[in-house]
Structures are given as structure tokens and as C-alpha cells.
Amino acid sequence: MISTWRDELEKEFRGAESFVVFGVGNSQRGDDAAGGLVIRDLKKMIGKKKRGAILLLDGGESPESLTGEIRAFGPDLTAIVDAAVAGHEPGTVYIVDRDKISQDDLTTHRMPLTLLICYLEESVGCRVIMIGIEPKNLRLGDRVSEEVKASVQILSEQLARIMKA
């Protein structure tokens, strides 16, 4: 049986008692706003920023500035949500294979996400997964594409369902 991103999310969240969903990306660069949009939707769906063992954070283009808050929260799992180019159809949601993230990839973030992932795993001691949404456009001033808007909604609903279970 082929595993879907939904199956992988279920598996990753299973057994975690506390978790962070951490959106990253530049809201001024079209589909790079996806991570922050997921956080905005989740806050509406499940309540305030902190609810029990859930922390929802929008790290924007400087996610490293919120690592202290994540460390203080001490989650079992941190799920990073970002627009990620992998050659899929625009709007495709997928779990990013961490071994395929290059440390020297061009990024809209101030710090490569590989360094952020390693830092969180080592300093917090939590598992880290990255959820990618394939962008259609990343140009400064572009609007979020319809494909990514639809995927943000689907991913947000899936995460809210998993976190409420």
C-alpha cells in the first residue's frame, strides 16, 4: 500500500503528547505565505495560540527567532510547514524527506531549514518533521495561488482533526 501524506502525518503525531506546528515563510512572496496561513487557519479552528499541549507559531521568514519559545514549551514533536519546491504539481502537500534538503539551498528564510531542524532536535530533544506545500509562485508581491489556498485549507483541517483526537 502506498503511504499518503495524511497517513504519514497520522503516524508522526501518534504518541506525541505535546506538539508545535510551526509555520515559516515570507507572506509577501506569493505562495511562500503557506506556512503562516496554516497557522492562521489552525488558530481559528482550535482556538488560541496555546491550547493544552499544542503550540501554534508563525515564524515568518525568521523562524530561528522563536526557537526559545519552542524550547520552553518542550514538545515531543515539531511540525514545520513551509512552501517547498520539489517539482510536484502546485498545491501538492507532502512530507519533506529531510535528507533531500540541501544546506546550501537558496531560501527565503534567514537560516537554512536543515540547521533549524537539527537545532530543534538537539536543543529541545523533539522529533521534527517538515510538511511541504508545492508553490506555484514565489515572486515578491504575488498573491497566494488558488492551488496553494486550497491545499492550506485541506492541510489545516487535517492537522486540526489530528490534534483534537
Three-state secondary structure of the chain: CCCCHHHHHHHHHCCCCCEEEEECCCCCCHHHHHHHHHHHHHHHHHCCCEECCEEEEECCCCHHHHHHHHHHHCCCEEEEEEECCCCCCCCCEEECCHHHCCCCCCCCCCCCHHHHHHHHHHHHCCEEEEEEECCCCCCCCCCCCHHHHHHHHHHHHHHHHHHHC
Alpha-carbon gap, residue 80 to 24, rounded angstroms: 7
Phi (first) and psi of residue 22, to 5 degrees: -125, 100
pLDDT for residue 129: 95
Task: State CA 4 to chain mean position distance.
Answer: 17
pTM comes to 0.90
pLDDT digits (tens, 9 = 90+) for 24-40: 999 999 999 999 999 99
Q: How many domains does the chain have?
A: 1
The pLDDT confidence band at residue 99, using thresholds 50, 70 and 90, is confident
pLDDT for residue 100: 66
C-alpha cell at 146: 488558488
Lowest mean pLDDT among 11-20, 84-93, 97-106, 137-146: 97-106
Specify which residues 55 forms β-bridges with: 20, 50
Share above pLDDT 70 across residues of the chain, in percent, rounded to a whole number: 87
- Which CATH number goes with the domain that contains 152? 3.40.50.1450
pLDDT for residue 152: 98
Task: State CA 146 to chain mean position distance.
Answer: 19
pLDDT digits (tens, 9 = 90+) for 35-80: 999 999 999 998 654 445 899 999 998 898 999 999 999 999 999 9
The pLDDT confidence band at residue 134, using thresholds 50, 70 and 90, is very high
Res 114 pLDDT > 90: no
If you average pLDDT over every residue of the chain, what do you get?
A: 88
Full domain range(s) for residue 113: 5-164
The pLDDT confidence band at residue 95, using thresholds 50, 70 and 90, is very high
Contact 29, 138 (CB under 8 A): yes
Nearest by Cα to 79 from 136, 137, 160: 160
